[in-house]
Amino acid sequence: PDDLPSLEQSRELQWEFDEVVKKYFYDACDRLTQKLLSRCGWDVINDFKGLTLIIICPNNGVNWHILRHLATFSDYLEQWPGLAKIRIYPPPGTGSVMEISVAQSFGY
């Protein structure tokens, strides 16, 4: 139909929506969690089924802290409707990508 946005407009709207969700997620986090996120590459994406928190760890030390902080990340993700996942990319050459479902992994 003619009243639907173009593919380019849809992509831009999705990007803007993801940026707003990312900001709200970050603002909902406590200072320690924000500091930890600032030491990584990270993003929050929404596929309209739920959120995926993507974390890219620059080194093994940060990766270890991220893994120890998984329950806290899951608590923040549970505040959003839908399914939630956490995908962690370890430092290059140190392992495989880990993806966990928040509800399954933490027993909620």
Concatenate the DSSP letters of all residues of 7-76 into one string: HHHHHHHHHHHHHHHHHHHHHHS-HHHHHHHHTSEEEEEE-SSEEEEEEE-SSHHHHHHHHHTHHHHHHH
Residue 97 maps to a domain: yes
Residue 2 maps to a domain: no
Residue 35 has pLDDT above 90, yes or no: yes
Number of domains in the chain: 1
Q: Give me the pLDDT at residue 20, please.
A: 87
Q: Give me the pLDDT at residue 107, please.
A: 47
Residue 29 maps to a domain: yes
Report residue 2's pLDDT band, with 50, 70 and 90 as the boundaries. low
Residue 48 maps to a domain: yes
Q: Give me the pLDDT at residue 36, please.
A: 96
Domain of 17, in residue numbers: 7-101
Residue 36 maps to a domain: yes
